[in-house]
Amino acid sequence: MTAQSLTRLIAGLFIMLTLGLAHMDGTVDMSSVSWLWFTAFVGVNLFQSGITKWCMMTNILKKLGAV
């Protein structure tokens, strides 16, 4: 596993962990629709891209001409 993959995996894990802890603490209500679900989506995608080495945003940026 490369350093880049580990960084994505750890970053995604930290995002999901902090959202989960904030929900359990009662400071965040993840049971209702809010912008925090977008944060959860980003965390899950970071985590899965660390494992699978496939990132949707990378594919989109490459199609738009980014190097």
Q: What is the pLDDT of residues 27-50, one digit of tens each?
A: 888 888 888 999 999 999 999 999
Tokens of 40: 């959860």
Q: Do residues 9 and 47 touch, judged by C-beta distance below 8 A?
A: yes
**pTM exceeds cut of 0.85:** no
Report pLDDT for 31: 86
